[in-house]
Structure formats: structure tokens, C-alpha cells
Amino acid sequence: MFFDQTRILTRVISVVLIFSLILPTATAFGQEATVDYYYEGQAAAQRDYTGGGAVVGGLAAGFLLGLIGWGLGYLIVSSQDGDVPKDLTTNLNTTQRMRFEQGYKDYVMRTKKGKFNLGAGIGTIGAVLFVMSSSE
């Protein structure tokens, strides 16, 4: 009698262990993948936006006005808002569209500020070198 109870208990424990191993993978594959539209917006902006205009603007501001131009240009670039192409958001509901647009705009602004600072730094150094070479 003791032997039968041990064998039944062993089988019950084996079945429970097998189900505990199979069940999490079955539920994980059965769920739909959730999409984070914030990161989707950043990925779309990374494909679309290069920041070439910000570099040229930074070069001009830094070369013509030096550090003052750099500061004023940075304030102007910081106050601008990126536009999201409407064809990217036509199939999204309101919440998804808002998250997508926020991710897109955040990436564009971060890239625009970085590229402007790069151009303004190069322009300011170029202006300093130009003034130093012309004063000799």
C-alpha cells in the first residue's frame, strides 16, 4: 500500500512539473506582441532625418557670430518643433499616434541639437583661426 501511494505521488508530481514547464512557454507564444510606438517613432525618424540643415546653420552661426551666434542659434533650434510626416501615422489610433509622434520628435530634436552644436563648434573654431591668421 505504501508503495502504491509513493508511485501515485511521484506521477502527480511529474505531471505538475511537466505542466509547469510547458505552460509558461505556451502562454508566452499565445500572446500578441505589443509594439512600443515611441520607439517605432524614433526608428522612423532615424531613417528619415539626417540633420544636414542643422550642421550648415551651426557652421554659419558659429563662423559669423562666434560664441554669441552659437548660443542664439541653439536657442532657436531648441524652440523649433519637428514635424511628423502624416503618412506614417494614418493607420494608428490616438494613443499610438501620440506615442509615435513623441518618439519621432524626441529623436529629431536630439539629433538637430547635436548636429547644430557640431556645426557651431566647427564654425567657431574656424572663425577663431581665421581671426588669428589674419591678425599676424
pLDDT digits (tens, 9 = 90+) for 87-122: 888 888 888 899 999 999 999 999 999 999 999 999
Q: Please check whether residue 72 is in contact with residue 80, taking contact to mean a CB–CB distance below 8 angstroms.
A: no
**Grid cell at residue 62:** 558659429
What is the model's pTM?
Answer: 0.70
Q: For position 118, what pLDDT does the model report?
A: 95
121 against 81, higher pLDDT: 121
CB-based contact 58:118 (threshold 8 Å): yes
Percent of the chain residues topping a pLDDT of 70:
83
Residues 105, 106, 108: CA angle, nearest 5 degrees: 60
Question: Which ranges constitute the DSSP H helices of the chain?
Answer: 2-30, 37-48, 52-79, 94-135
Contact 102, 41 (CB under 8 A): yes
Distance CA 27, CA 13 (A): 21
